[in-house]
Amino acid sequence: MITAGDFRNGLTFDMDGSVMQIIEFQHVKPGKGAAFVRTKLRNVITGAVIEKTFNPTDKYPTALVERKEMQYLYNDGELYYFMDMESFEQLPIDKAKLGDNFRFVKEEMMCKIMSYKGNVFGVEPPMFVELKVTETEPGFKGDTATGASKPATLETGAQIKVPLFIDIGDVLRIDTRTGEYLERA
């Protein structure tokens, strides 16, 4: 059991039959009245984000979310296959459980598979990936005064904005959390 007064970012707990993860929390002690804890929570199964206020003495059972490192193999329509590198078992995961940032993952990359009580609810790709540019327009000289950017298509099919000096064939380092170009690799 965990009390609301012990909340920390990233902590998971069971609230009304749902597994919630704390995104943000703030202990508030007003000059008048009792203290309270203001939080922003994400339901790890559905992805819904809510804001809720707790009494610091409220108690909730902790929820253990299992994160297992697995290798992405291939997709077959709506199913994406991952392999456990210890037992070599393959696990099919429905496309609906993959996040938007999965568009930066290519075959043979390692991902974290998140599950609660044996039910897979999400896939966490690596934070940074290196991908090759397969399609982009050429940049024009003298067009850099505004810090302009242009669209580029990566080898996974994902589209991002890149600086004008990036060409086809360049390998880029991408932050999968934000989908932003970081640097050339």
pLDDT tens figures, 23-51: 889 998 988 888 999 999 988 877 788 99
Long-range Cβ contact pairs of 85-89 (< 8 A, separation 24 or more) = none
* pTM of the predicted structure, to 2 decimals: 0.71
Q: Do domains 66-124 and 128-184 have the same CATH topology?
A: yes
Residue 56: strand, helix, or coil: coil
Q: Are 65 and 43 spatial neighbours (Cβ–Cβ below 8 Å)?
A: no
- Please give the average per-residue pLDDT across 48-57, as a whole number: 91
Give the pLDDT band of residue 140 (cuts 50, 70, 90).
low
Residue 141 has pLDDT above 70, yes or no: no
Which two structure tokens, joined as six digits, stand for 84? Answer: 């456990």
Give the pLDDT band of residue 82 (cuts 50, 70, 90).
very high
Which two structure tokens, joined as six digits, stand for 5? Answer: 């007064």
Domain at 128-184: CATH architecture: Beta Barrel (2.40)
Residue 69 has pLDDT above 90, yes or no: yes
pLDDT of residue 152: 92
Where does 66-124 sit in CATH, by number? 2.40.50.140
Listed by start position, the domains of the chain span 2-60, 66-124, 128-184
Q: Which CATH class is domain 2-60?
A: mainly beta
pLDDT of residue 133: 93
